[in-house]
Structure 1
Amino acid sequence: MLVSQRRELILAEVERVGGVRVSELTELLGVSDMTVRRDLEHLETHGWLRKVHGGAVLTASSSEEPGFEAKSVLQQPAKRAIAARAAQLLDKSAIALSAGTTTWMLARHIQAGSQPLAVVTNSTTVADVLAAGSRPSDLNVILTGGSRTPSAALVGPIADRAISSLHVDRLFLGVHGMDARSGFTTPNLAEAQTNMALIASARQVVVLADSTKWGTAGLADFGRLSIADVLITDDGIGDEARRILTEQVGELIVVPVEPSLSRS
Structure 2
Amino acid sequence: MLARQRQEMILDEVRRTGAVQVSDLVQRLGVSDMTIRRDLDALAARGAVEKVYGGATSVLDRSTDEPGFETKSMYLPEEKKAIALRASEMVRPGTALGLSAGTTTWTLARHLDDVADLTVVTNSVRIADVLQQRGRTDRTVILTGGVRTPSDALVGPVAVRTLQSLHLDLVFLGVHGMSTRAGFTTPNLDESETNRALARAANRLVVLADHSKWSTVGISTIVGLDEVDVLVTDDGLPEQARTALEERVRELRIAPCSGNGDGVSSCPSRRAPSEEEHR
The answer to which structure has the higher helix fraction is 1
2:53 and 2:74 in contact (8 A); partners too: no
Partner residue in 2 for 1:108: 110
Give the TM-score normalised by the residue count of structure 1. 0.87
For 1:32, the aligned partner's letter is M
Residue 134 (structure 2) pairs with residue 133 (structure 1): yes
* CA shift digits 1:83-119 (9 cap, x unpaired): 1111111026111000001111111122x22421111
RMSD of equivalent CA atoms: 2.5
Change (3 A) 1:232 1:129: same
Partner residue in 1 for 2:262: none
Structure 1 residue 132: Cα displacement: 0.9
3-state SS in 2 of match to 1:32: helix
Structure 1 residue 73: Cα displacement: 2.3
Partner residue in 2 for 1:64: 65
* CA shift digits 1:46-75 (9 cap, x unpaired): 332234566532123221221112212221
For 2:95, the aligned partner's letter is S
* Structure 1 runs not aligned, ≥5 long: none
> How many pairs were matched up?
260
2:206 and 2:229 in contact (8 A); partners too: yes
Q: Say which one has the larger Rg.
A: 2
2:119 and 2:140 in contact (8 A); partners too: yes
For 2:268, the aligned partner's letter is S
Change (3 A) 1:96 1:113: same
Partner residue in 2 for 1:262: 268
For 1:198, the aligned partner's letter is L
3-state SS in 2 of match to 1:171: strand
Partner residue in 2 for 1:123: 124
2:19 and 2:70 in contact (8 A); partners too: no
Percentage of identical aligned residues: 51
Structure 1 residue 194: Cα displacement: 0.5
Structure 1 residue 221: Cα displacement: 1.5
Change (3 A) 1:224 1:44: farther
More moved, 146-155 vs 162-171: 146-155
Q: How do 1:1-264 and structure 2 match up within 5 A?
A: 2-20=2-20, 29-32=31-34, 36=37, 40=40, 42-52=42-52, 55-60=55-60, 61-91=62-92, 93-110=95-112, 112-136=113-137, 138-258=138-258, 259-262=265-268
* Structure 2 runs not aligned, ≥5 long: 259-264, 272-279
1:18 and 1:71 in contact (8 A); partners too: no
Equivalents in 1 of 2:252, 2:25: separation in Å? 34
